[in-house]
C-alpha cells in the first residue's frame, strides 16, 4: 500500500515539470500582438517639429466601442463612461447618442478615408475634443512624409493649427506587421486575396497593446449573421438609412478586390479573446 503511494508520488513529481514545460512551449507557439517588444513604437506623433515621439498610453481598463448599429438602444453609455479609457473609431459621434455609446473619448482610431470627415468638422474634433488622442492608419502612398502623402499633409496642417492636439500615425512597419498578423491567423495573404484590413482590426491590435483588459461593446461574432433571428441593424449606428450590418458584412467578405473581411476578422478576435482579458457585450459572445 505504502509502496504504491510512493510510486504515484514519484510519477506525479516526474509529470508535473513535463506538463509545465509543455505549457510553456504551447504559450510560446502562440505569440500575441501584446508581447511584441517594440510595443507602442508602432505609433508616431505627427508634429510640425518632426521629432520622433511614440505613443505612450497604458490603461487598466478599456472600452472599445464599435460603430455598429448594435449600439442603438444598448443603453450602456453610463457604463462605458465609467471605464478608464474609451476607444472609438473614425467619426463615430457621441453627441445625441450619449445614452447608448457614452460621451467620453480617450482614443479615436481613424482610417485615412475618414480623415476628411474629421477635418470638415475640425473645430469639434481637434479643438473642443483636444483631450482625445487620434491614431490614424493608412497606406504608405497616403501617409508618406516626403510631401507626397495626402493624408499625412492634411494631418500635419491640423497639428500646426491646433498645437495641443495629439495625432499619431500608424507607422508603415506597423501596418506591415498587421498584415503579417492577418496572414499568420488566416493563412491567407491580405493583398493577394484582395482584402483591406478594417479600422476595427487596427483598433483591436492597439487595444491589446495598450489595455490590460478590454470591454468590447456592440461587436458581433463571426457566426452572428448566419444565425436565425439575428437583429437586423444599420451598419453604423449613426447612419440609419444605409444597408444593414449583415448584408454589408456578406458583401465585403466575398468582394474580390478591396473588401474588408469583417467576418474573418471576428473569428480572429475570438481566438485572441482566449489569450487576453477581453469580453464582448451587446451582443455578448460565448467563447
Ligand atoms: C480653440 O478653442 C479656443 C477656446 O474655445 C479658442 O480660443 C481658440 O481660438 C480655438 N482655436 C482655433 C485654432 O480655432
Ligand atoms: C508570422 O509567423 C512567422 C512564422 O511563425 C513569424 O516569424 C512572424 O513573426 C509572424 N508575424 C507576425 C506579424 O506575427
Among the atoms of ligand 2, which is closest to the Cα of residue 33? 14
Residue 205 domain-assigned (yes or no): yes
Residue 164 inside a domain? The answer is yes
Percent of the chain at pLDDT exceeding 90: 70
The DSSP call for residue 280 is E
Is 68 part of a structural domain of the chain?
A: yes
Q: What is the DSSP letter of 235?
A: S
Res 16 pLDDT > 60: no
Q: How many domains does the chain have?
A: 1
Which pLDDT score is estimated for 4?
A: 63
Determine which residue's CA is closest to atom 9 belonging to ligand 2: 180
Is the Cβ–Cβ distance between 164 and 139 less than 8 Å? Answer: no
Which CATH number goes with the domain that contains 226? 3.90.1480.20
Give domain status of residue 52, yes or no.
yes
pLDDT above 60 (res 5): no
Domain coverage including residue 249: 38-281
Contacts of 12 (CB under 8 A, 6+ apart): none
Residue 59 in any domain: the answer is yes
Name the closest-CA residue to atom 8, ligand 1: 127
User: Using CA positions, which residue lies closest to atom 2 of ligand 2?
Assistant: 184
Q: What is the pTM of this model?
A: 0.84
CB atoms within 10 A of CB 281: 17
pLDDT in tens, 158-183: 999 999 999 999 999 999 999 999 99
Average pLDDT of every residue of the chain: 87
Residue 244 lies in a domain: yes
Beta pairing, strands 211-217 & 85-89 = unpaired
| CB-based pocket (< 6 A), ligand 1 | 123, 127, 161-162
Interhelix angle 172-186/262-272, nearest 10 degrees? 80
**Residues 229-233: contacts with CB within 8 Å, 24+ apart?**
231/70, 231/283, 233/68, 233/69, 233/70, 233/72
User: 108-143 pLDDT, tens per residue?
Assistant: 999 999 999 999 999 999 999 989 999 999 999 999
Please report the pLDDT score of residue 3 as a whole number: 56
Q: What is the Cα–Cα distance from 215 to 80, expressed in whole angstroms? A: 9
Residues 165 and 130 sit within 8 Å (Cβ to Cβ): yes
| 30, 180, 201, 208: residue to mutate for ligand 2 pocket, most atoms within 8 A of CB | 180
Residue owning the nearest CA to atom 11 of ligand 1: 127
- Residue 8 forms part of a structural domain: no
Cell of 64: 472599445
Q: Quick: pLDDT tens for 221-269.
A: 999 999 989 999 999 999 987 789 999 888 888 887 888 899 889 999 9
Give phi and psi for 154, each to the nearest 5.
-60, -40
Is residue 177 situated within a structural domain? yes
Residue 83 confidence (pLDDT) above 50 = yes
The gap from C-alpha 228 to its chain's centroid, in whole angstroms, comes to: 28
pLDDT tier, 190 (very low <50, low <70, confident <90, very high otherwise)? confident
Q: State the ligand closest to the CA atom of 32.
A: 2
Q: How far is CA 45 from its chain centroid?
A: 19
Amino acid at each position: 500500500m505504502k509502496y504504491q503511494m510512493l510510486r504515484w508520488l514519484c510519477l506525479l513529481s516526474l509529470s508535473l515539470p513535463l506538463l509545465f514545460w509543455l505549457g510553456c512551449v504551447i504559450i510560446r507557439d502562440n505569440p500575441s500582438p501584446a508581447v511584441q517588444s517594440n510595443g507602442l513604437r508602432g505609433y508616431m506623433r505627427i508634429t510640425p517639429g518632426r521629432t520622433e515621439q511614440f505613443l505612450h498610453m497604458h490603461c487598466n481598463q478599456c472600452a472599445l466601442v464599435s460603430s455598429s448599429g448594435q449600439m442603438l438602444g444598448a443603453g450602456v453609455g453610463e457604463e462605458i463612461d465609467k471605464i478608464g479609457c474609451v476607444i472609438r473609431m473614425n467619426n463615430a459621434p457621441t453627441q445625441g447618442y450619449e445614452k447608448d455609446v457614452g460621451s467620453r473619448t480617450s482614443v479615436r482610431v481613424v482610417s485615412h478615408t475618414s480623415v476628411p470627415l474629421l477635418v470638415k468638422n475640425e473645430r469639434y474634433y481637434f479643438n473642443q475634443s483636444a483631450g482625445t488622442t487620434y491614431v490614424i492608419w493608412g497606406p504608405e502612398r497616403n501617409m508618406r512624409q516626403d510631401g507626397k502623402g495626402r493624408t499625412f499633409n492634411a494631418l500635419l496642417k491640423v497639428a500646426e493649427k491646433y498645437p495641443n492636439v495629439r495625432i499619431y500615425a500608424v507607422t508603415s512597419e506597423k501596418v506591415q506587421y498587421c498584415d503579417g498578423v492577418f496572414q499568420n491567423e488566416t493563412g491567407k495573404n491580405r493583398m493577394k486575396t484582395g482584402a483591406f484590413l478594417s479600422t476595427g482590426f487596427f483598433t483591436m491590435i492597439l487595444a491589446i497593446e495598450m489595455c490590460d483588459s478590454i470591454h468590447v461593446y456592440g461587436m458581433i461574432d463571426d457566426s452572428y449573421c448566419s444565425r436565425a433571428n439575428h437583429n437586423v441593424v444599420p451598419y453604423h449606428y449613426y447612419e440609419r438609412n444605409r444597408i444593414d450590418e449583415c448584408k454589408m458584412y456578406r458583401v465585403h467578405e466575398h468582394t474580390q478586390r478591396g473588401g474588408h473581411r469583417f467576418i474573418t476578422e471576428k473569428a480572429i478576435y475570438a481566438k485572441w479573446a482566449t489569450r487576453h482579458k477581453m469580453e464582448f457585450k451587446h451582443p455578448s459572445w460565448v467563447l
